[in-house]
Amino acid sequence: MSKAVLVMGGDGIGPEVIDQAVRVLEAIANADGLNLNIEHRPYGLACYRDHGVLMSEETLADLLEADGVLFGATGGPGYEQVPREVHMQSSLLRIRKEMDVFANLRPVRVPDALLDVSPLRAEVVRGTDLIFVRELTSGLYFGRPKTIEALADGGERGIDTQSYTTAEIERVARAAFDLAGSRDRRVCSVDKSNVMESGRLWRRVVSEVAGDYPDITLTHLLGDNCGMQLVLAPTQFDVILADNMFGDILSDVAAATMGTLGTLPSASFSAPGPDGRRRAFYEPVHGSAPDIAGQGAANPVAAILCVAMLLRHSLERPDLGQRLEAAVDAALAAGVRTRDICPAGGQAVSTEDMAGAILAELAKA
Ligand code: IPM
Ligand code: MG
């Protein structure tokens, strides 16, 4: 049976990098006889200009049915003209919520070829290979009340609510422990239990879940300390489990230790449905980068590594995912670099040529 892959390039550099990711996916599908049904849907400002919405309700329905969704990026100049209701109706946050993709995996791996890109000393970052499991559909991003209210003194009060239930913590903790079982068997859970009630519950529930995983080592770090440890000694981590807000911030911190966002993929999963299928949403961590959009300068590696994650997790071909990751490493090791990872004085290649170099490595494998 064929697998349905839904593609939305979105805004900024999203379409450019996703085009190259699809090119790579199609090449692999052709070479290895994968039966894929790849369909494209409009998302973002271009869709808003044509249809008055960022994404149609039909597209949302299709997202829920797809075996995997490959998404580029959202945001950039022009969004200030999109009315708030339109934005809320079809924002990335609504997609995450509707798809219920609560477990967001963000691997951060520093290949030796990119050691010179890091702002940290090579001996500090060498060998970094960690992965975030970020809770993606609750916490501060979604908790109610969430509003700006008027005050009697003429001022206003902005309110967001940090809230987590036992069930929400438990399911994302299980995702982290399950993942650790296929890695170095260590989970570091992040909270702010010295200050926040939601943090106290988070730590308690995660510790209880750990009881079901006797072969996994659980440690806890306060969020601020985790930020510091990521910069001082990123190699100490295997799986980092974090709530929505900490996961957002700390994954950017970890990315900065690499020196670029341009190579980091992510994947988000729901719980399995009655048919055993998990909804899955793949997006590069880097965002829309409007300053370089349309120049052919963007790094397609993050989007291409999203394809590797798609192969592993949704298309049941971990072997092909691994081969693609090896091809990316080989192209980087051969010195092929887009601008964001190109050493001063080096010759940067285009988005398309970076993907071409990866395809060439794949063909050799
Ligand atoms: C991310 C992004 C998003 C988030 C934005 C674009 C809403 O920063 O995926 O990390 O905050 O989750
Ligand atoms: Mg972020």
Same domain for 240 and 210? yes
Which of 232, 259, 286 lies at the terminal end of a domain, its last residue?
259
Alpha helices in 39-186 (DSSP H): 45-51, 57-65, 84-90, 92-99, 122-125, 166-181
Same domain for 23 and 125? no
Residue 62 annotated to the active site? no
Counting from 1 in the atom list of ligand 1, the atom nearest the Cα of 252 is 10
Kindly state whether residue 169 falls inside one of the protein's structural domains.
Answer: yes
Which of 236, 259, 282 lies at the terminal end of a domain, its last residue?
259
Q: Is the CB of 136 under 6 A from ligand 1?
A: no
Same domain for 241 and 290? no
pLDDT in the model for residue 87: 87
Same domain for 198 and 299? no
Lowest mean pLDDT among 80-94, 131-145, 282-296: 80-94
Residue 192 annotated to the active site? yes
Residue 248 annotated to the active site? yes
Confidence of residue 345 (pLDDT cuts 50, 70, 90): confident
Kindly state whether residue 265 falls inside one of the protein's structural domains.
Answer: no
Kindly state whether residue 264 falls inside one of the protein's structural domains.
Answer: no
pLDDT in the model for residue 88: 82
107 CA distance to ligand 2 centroid (A)? 14
Whether residue 365 is predicted with pLDDT greater than 80 in this model: the reply is: no
Same domain for 255 and 344? no
In total, how many domains does the chain have?
2
Q: Is the CB of 92 under 6 A from ligand 1?
A: yes
Same domain for 115 and 13? no
Same domain for 230 and 117? yes
Residue nearest to atom 11 of ligand 1 (CA): 248
Same domain for 134 and 197? yes
Which of 240, 259, 278 lies at the terminal end of a domain, its last residue?
259
The pLDDT tens digits for 12-44 are 999 999 999 999 999 999 999 999 999 999 999
Same domain for 174 and 253? yes
Same domain for 150 and 79? no
Counting from 1 in the atom list of ligand 1, the atom nearest the Cα of 244 is 12
249 CA distance to ligand 2 centroid (A)? 6
Task: Assess contact for 309 and 321: CB atoms under 8 A.
Answer: yes
Same domain for 203 and 303? no
The pLDDT tens digits for 207-262 are 999 999 999 999 999 999 999 999 999 999 999 999 999 999 999 999 999 888 89
Kindly state whether residue 183 falls inside one of the protein's structural domains.
Answer: yes
Residue 224 annotated to the active site? yes
pLDDT in the model for residue 76: 94
Instruction: Report which of 121, 246, 119, 131 is spatially closest to residue 180, judged by C-alpha positions.
Output: 131
Q: Which domain holds residue 323?
A: 1-101+270-365
Measured distance CA(133)–CA(240) in Å, rounded? 6
How much is the mean pLDDT over the chain? 96
